[in-house]
């Protein structure tokens, strides 16, 4: 959350979601309804296999102005399509195929040319080898790292091969953990483990960036945040800050 590196010169927030499992697809229509209610556009990291399987809901998202982020074709280690595979253990050619096939699916089914990527399973399975692949495909950004400990401490910065890396924000109260619904709520021994605390911390964080003119981005799992009315309260809190798409800040 660095002011001097804020590309927007005013408080700005990038809201994104990762669609990894069937339950995230089930939450998709409700999520889109909430975003529409608050007139907020978000970045959606979607996988090629789900776009093929559920084209209509993805088309609706595109029609409503949301940004499609390449999240690979099969999302290793998805239990249906790529069990026991890990993105960072794939060969360079396999990684390239994962990203290229997803790109083709978005183009063919959704009419979208994606310009950004998020590594499946994010930071832990992220690998530097994606940057030359992305550059070759004409991509502009990756958002696959955590702001905590990353160079620039959270501000988007030029990475290798001219790709901009947009790290996602960490927790106010647990600054070495990403503030996402997985770490905070869902995993075994989550940092917060409580929906009320989660919404409270989100709103506190938005208040800080709004007051100090900072840029920040998070990602959440749709299934986790539509539960217990969290999304409604979170989006209501975003009224105090300008929301942006990654494609608009580059």
Which residues in this chain contact Zn ion in the complex, by CB under 5 A?
A: 18, 20, 120
Among all chains, which residue has been given the structure tokens 């955590």? Answer: 146
Contact 245, 14 (CB under 8 A): yes
Minimum distance between the CB of residue 195 and Zn ion, rounded to whole angstroms? 21
How many angstroms separate the CA atoms of 140 and 19, rounded?
A: 21
The residue (of 32 and 82) whose beta carbon lies closer to Zn ion is 82
The residue (of 17 and 131) whose beta carbon lies closer to Zn ion is 17
Minimum distance between the CB of residue 73 and Zn ion, rounded to whole angstroms? 12
Q: Record the tokens describing residue 164, joined without a space.
A: 């901009």
The residue (of 72 and 205) whose beta carbon lies closer to Zn ion is 72
Minimum distance between the CB of residue 74 and Zn ion, rounded to whole angstroms? 11
Phi/psi for 48 (5° steps) reads: -55, -45
The residue (of 17 and 198) whose beta carbon lies closer to Zn ion is 17
Minimum distance between the CB of residue 18 and Zn ion, rounded to whole angstroms? 4
The residue (of 12 and 126) whose beta carbon lies closer to Zn ion is 126
The residue (of 18 and 67) whose beta carbon lies closer to Zn ion is 18
Minimum distance between the CB of residue 39 and Zn ion, rounded to whole angstroms? 26
How many angstroms separate the CA atoms of 116 and 5, rounded?
A: 20
Distance of CA 8 to the CA centre of its chain: 19
How many angstroms separate the CA atoms of 27 and 13, rounded?
A: 22
How many angstroms separate the CA atoms of 215 and 28, rounded?
A: 26
Contact 159, 145 (CB under 8 A): no
How many angstroms separate the CA atoms of 206 and 126, rounded?
A: 27
Minimum distance between the CB of residue 134 and Zn ion, rounded to whole angstroms? 17
Minimum distance between the CB of residue 71 and Zn ion, rounded to whole angstroms? 6
The residue (of 12 and 47) whose beta carbon lies closer to Zn ion is 47
Angle, alpha carbons 77-80-47 (nearest 5°): 65
Phi/psi for 158 (5° steps) reads: -70, 130
Q: Record the tokens describing residue 54, joined without a space.
A: 């559920």
Contact 185, 198 (CB under 8 A): yes
Distance of CA 249 to the CA centre of its chain: 15
């Amino acid at each position: 959350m660095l002011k001097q590196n804020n590309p927007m010169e005013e408080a700005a927030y990038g809201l994104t979601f990762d669609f990894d499992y069937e339950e995230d697809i089930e939450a998709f229509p409700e999520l889109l309804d909430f975003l529409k209610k608050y007139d907020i556009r978000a970045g959606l990291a979607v996988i090629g296999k789900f776009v093929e399987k559920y084209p209509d809901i993805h088309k609706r998202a595109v029609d409503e102005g949301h940004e499609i982020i390449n999240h690979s074709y099969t999302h290793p280690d998805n239990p249906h399509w790529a069990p026991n595979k890990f993105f960072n253990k794939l060969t360079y050619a396999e990684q390239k195929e994962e990203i290229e096939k997803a790109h083709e699916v978005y183009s063919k089914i959704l009419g979208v040319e994606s310009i950004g990527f998020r590594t499946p399973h994010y930071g832990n399975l992220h690998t530097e080898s994606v940057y030359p692949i992305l550059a070759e495909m004409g991509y502009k950004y990756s958002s696959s790292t955590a702001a905590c400990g990353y160079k620039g401490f959270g501000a988007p910065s030029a990475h290798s091969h001219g790709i901009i890396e947009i790290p996602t924000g960490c927790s106010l109260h647990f600054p070495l953990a990403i503030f996402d619904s997985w770490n905070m709520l869902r995993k075994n021994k989550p940092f917060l483990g409580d929906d009320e605390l989660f919404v409270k911390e989100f709103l506190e964080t938005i208040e800080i960036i709004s007051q100090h003119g900072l840029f920040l981005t998070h990602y959440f799992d749709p299934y986790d945040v539509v539960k217990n009315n969290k999304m409604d309260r979170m989006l209501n809190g975003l009224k105090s800050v300008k929301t942006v798409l990654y494609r608009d800040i580059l």
